[in-house]
Structure formats: structure tokens, C-alpha cells
Amino acid sequence: MNIQNNGTNGANGANNSGVGDGASLPGANNDSGSLSNMFTTLLIAQIQNQDPLAPMEASQFVTQFAQMSQVEAMQTLAQISAATAAMQESMLVVSLGSQVGSLVRVRADSVELDGETVRGGFNLDSSAGDVELILTGPDGTEHKINLGPKEAGAVDFEIDPAEHDLPPGNYKVRVSTDTGEKPGVELTGELQGVRLAADGSIVLSVAGVGDVSTADITRFLGRAKDGGTPDSSASNLPYLKRFLS
């Protein structure tokens, strides 16, 4: 605030003396030379209003020029970084868009059941003698699917609404073990769409799960074959992994 006021006064002084006549204070626009123009305007005003009996030393001018160069360099670096980030985000959107129709594994705490079997999994840090998958319906009723004893490592499961008498709706899902471990649940669904949110973040729409972020994606499983199983040959996506890691 103070700098802008001094710059305005200095600009007026410069115009009254005929130096820098017709120049307007930069900063009202965002062009690349606005910072340099503002510094020049302030420097001229400073020279014109200095005490003739105690003028500024040359070292002070050199210091100010050096500071201006540092600020301009940091400003340029910030612009380059922002442009690079925007380019990478655009490339990621295009790459993810090409995967629409593929199966993905995502972290989720709820699932939308519509009569179709839903597949998923979780990881156990240690073996458990009794493992249950618990689904809580919209009415608060808990539906338990007994998975039995499980060894440490990856555990896959299926949710068949017909087998477990689960009406269509949105269910909270979690895993309960007799060891007290509470592993996170991952669900498999088809990637149906990719879009940019209002804040610029990437949002993916996954069947049976809903909208998720790229950070929720844990695995790309490729496109399903005729039998409904993922094509394992399409799961190796190093380009996408580089952005999602």
C-alpha cells in the first residue's frame, strides 16, 4: 500500500518536471514488463526527490537493481512452473480420457448397488481368523458377509446383491476382523468419465462408486473381456503411474 502511494506521488513529480511525461503507473496490467516499469518509475521519482546535499550513493542503486532482478527471476520461474503444471494436467486428462471404459480399482467407503455383482478387495497386515465385510444400508441396517479366516496379504471379495438379499441403494462398506485391524476397502468399477472440477482438479466417475479423485485410484485393470474379466495385458500403464504416484 505504501509503495503504491509513493509510486503515485513520484510519478506525478516526474510528470510535472517533464521527465517520464505521459507514462502511467504500471501494475494496472499484468504484462511481463510491468514490474520493471514500476521499478523504473519509482527510481526516477526517488532520484528527483532526493536531498541534493545528501544524494544516494551508487551502491544503493546497484543493490536496488539486483533486488529487482531477483524478483523478476522468481516471477518468471513461477510463471514457468505454473505453465508446466497446467500442461502436465492437460496431458493427464487426455491420458485418463483414453482409459474410459476400462476397469479400475479405487479406494472407497461406500458402494452403489443396483443388482449387479460388485468386486473389490483389501490388504491384511496380519492373518485373521474371522473376517467380515459389513455393508450399512440407507436405513442404518448392517448386512454382514462372512469371509472366513484370511491370511496376511491381498484379499478379494464379491458382493452379490441377490445372494445376500441386498436391495438397490447406497451402502457404507467396511471390513471387520477379530484382530482389530481395519483395512481400507478398494472397489473395482468401470471408468465412465473424466472431467475438470471448478477448482481445476481432475474428477473421475467410476461405476458403482461415484466421483473420485486421481489419488483414489490404486490400480488400472484394463478393459474387460467378453467374460467380464479384466485384460491383464492392459494393466501396465507406466505413463499414468508417473502422474498418479
Q: How much is the pLDDT for 15?
A: 43
Provide φ and ψ at 205, rounded to 5°. -100, 120
Residues of the chain with pLDDT under 50: 1-29, 31-32, 227, 231-245
Q: How much is the pLDDT for 233?
A: 42
Whether 129 and 135 have beta carbons less than 8 Å apart is answered as no
Q: How much is the pLDDT for 58?
A: 66
Query: What's the N-to-C CA distance of the chain in angstroms?
Result: 43
Of 3.40.50.1220, 3.20.20.20, 2.60.40.4070, 2.60.120.10, the CATH number of 103-244 is 2.60.40.4070
Q: How much is the pLDDT for 35?
A: 66
pTM of the model: 0.56
- Residue written as grid cell 496431458: 91
Residue of 233, 188, 180 whose CA lies nearest to 208: 188
Q: How much is the pLDDT for 89?
A: 65
Q: How much is the pLDDT for 33?
A: 61
Rounded-to-integer distance, Cα 206 and Cα 211, Å = 6
